[in-house]
Amino acid sequence: QVQLVESGGGLVQPGGSLRLSCTASGSIVSVYAMGWYRQAPGKERELVAAFTGPSSTNYAASVKDRFTISKGNAKNTVYLQMNSLKPEDTAVYYCNCKLMGANYWGQGTQVTVSS
């Protein structure tokens, strides 16, 4: 079993920045199996950014060059740095971990971009 705890969401004005954090506990996981998804009202959950290996990442086209996924110095921690936020980035953001063929999800953190 894996437990994922996210933090860092909130309300920000367009053009602002936020940093989300996710820490995994429970089974031993690799940060390179972790990523971030988001779900806006009335829409399906979508990939935002994820590690695909020790030196590779994958980003949604809509966030490339604005968002950055990184691993923390603390074990099993990943961050999502979000810059130049737009109203269309408003969503619940979920941390994801893949382990032994299963997907694990955090509880989600709300990000609202509004003036």
Per-residue pLDDT at 27 = 76
Per-residue pLDDT at 5 = 94
The arithmetic mean of pLDDT across residues 40-64, rounded, is: 95
Measured distance CA(16)–CA(72) in Å, rounded: 22
Per-residue pLDDT at 55 = 82
Per-residue pLDDT at 80 = 98
Per-residue pLDDT at 43 = 96
Per-residue pLDDT at 88 = 97
Per-residue pLDDT at 31 = 81
Per-residue pLDDT at 1 = 84
Q: Tens of pLDDT along 54-102?
A: 889 999 999 999 999 999 887 789 999 999 999 999 999 999 999 888 9
Q: What is the rounded average pLDDT for all residues in the chain? A: 94
Q: Which long-range contacts (CB under 8 A, 24 or more apart) does 14-17 make?
A: 14/85, 14/86, 14/87, 14/113, 14/114, 14/115, 15/84, 15/85, 16/85, 16/113, 17/81, 17/82, 17/83, 17/84, 17/85
Per-residue pLDDT at 107 = 96
Is 26's pLDDT higher than 90? no
